[in-house]
Amino acid sequence: METKCKICGEKISLPEDSMAGELVECGSCGMSYEIASINADVVSIKPAENVGEDWGE
């Protein structure tokens, strides 16, 4: 399976056992995405939310 980076347009290859909710990264520009859904090998991605460290606070 594969999808395209929304920033640079490069292909992002995904393992066949990928699931919605997993994080993937573009090997070209480094943008992180979350897999939103997978329907019949059509992969929908959205920008990953950056969650900062809370250090137990």
Please give the Cα distance from 42 to 1 (Å, whole number).
Answer: 8
pLDDT, mean of residues 25-43 = 93
Please give the Cα distance from 52 to 5 (Å, whole number).
Answer: 23
On the question of pLDDT at 48 being above 80, the answer is yes
CATH number for the domain spanning 28: value is 2.20.28
pLDDT, mean of residues 31-38 = 95
Q: By residue range, what is the domain housing residue 6?
A: 2-47
Q: How many domains does the chain have?
A: 1
In a domain, 31, yes or no: yes
On the question of pLDDT at 57 being above 90, the answer is no
The Cβ of residue 11 has, within 10 Å, a number of other Cβ atoms equal to 12
Which pLDDT does position 35 carry in this prediction?
95
Please give the Cα distance from 21 to 31 (Å, whole number).
Answer: 16
